[in-house]
Amino acid sequence: MRICSLLPSATEIVYALGLGDQLVGVSHTCDYPADARSRPVVSRSVRSVSHLGSQEIDAIIRQARETNNPVHWIDGDLLRELRPDLIITQEICEVCAIDQGSVYATSARFLDYEPEIVVTRPVGLEEIYRNIHLIAAAASVPERADTLVAELRQRAKRVTDGIGPVEARPRVFCIDWLEPLRNTGQWTPELVELAGGEEGLAEKWGKSREIGWDEVLAYQPDYLMVMPCAFDMVRTEAETRERLYSHPAWASLRAVQEGQVYLFDGLIPSRHGPRVIDVLEGLAEAMRPDKFNGLARPGIFRRADL
């Protein structure tokens, strides 16, 4: 089986299923585990944004949408050379990865055969688990998905069992983008709920949206979780200092005043792969260190230096 993964979460699933040696191509954002970086890169970004801040990146994305121009492209010649049997793509966010329409069009143009194309479209944990089963079945190793999903469910259960009955849920605001300010969507509010909190500014299994600072002030979260999409911890910290600390409303937030602001490695919460459970464990430890001290894997989150 020759597998081509066009999104980081699928690449993580492929490796978690023990199929890394069958991965012949990846996207330009596939960076975990480290071995994925050694694979041929099949997709590219139309413009490099690694050196830009959130406001500049948002402007580029808005312009691309208004002009109906692609954000990413596929190297069809390389795809033809790699000749994958299985291509994994997504239908959830055209900003984060190649969309399924581009995959079908490029495959039809450059390949003289029809590979199997698996499209992932998760909104919550159950869909993420189903995608793991879907990819494993397509790669003819369904039993490996059974084992992996059982392990992930057990880790999630360890959190919910450890919390026990929740009488009062702290108010949590998870930040998906800093300028403009955006909330999180899809699975993240569900993770907050499982960790014992309430994400009152987001819709569980819903889409991310822009949030006004007046909404945040009225909500007065007990915890702020800063997890800008696709930003590593270094960029998350730098952007938080530049975009949030200087905002006039920042110091008026209860979470800031009480030191309950946490920075997450934004490369992890935005991906619908096995590491969503790492995020769940990080949220649980941040809100209930007395019960979950040391539960989260190193590098997932840390308290902000206010």
pLDDT tens digit sequence for 117-143: 999 989 999 999 999 999 999 999 999
Q: For 164-288, where are the alpha helices, taking DSSP H only?
A: 188-194, 213-219, 233-239, 254-257, 276-287
User: Would you place residue 94 in the very low, low, confident or very high pLDDT band (cuts 50, 70, 90)?
Assistant: low
Q: C-alpha 219: how far from its chain's center?
A: 25
Residue 193's pLDDT is: 97
Residue 125's pLDDT is: 98
- Tens digit of each residue's pLDDT (9 = 90 or more) over 101-114: 889 999 999 999 99
User: Would you place residue 306 in the very low, low, confident or very high pLDDT band (cuts 50, 70, 90)?
Assistant: confident
User: Would you place residue 266 in the very low, low, confident or very high pLDDT band (cuts 50, 70, 90)?
Assistant: very high
Look at the block and give the residue holding tokens 């890169």: 41
Higher pLDDT, 296 or 167: 296
At residue 205, φ and ψ (nearest 5 deg) are: 70, 10
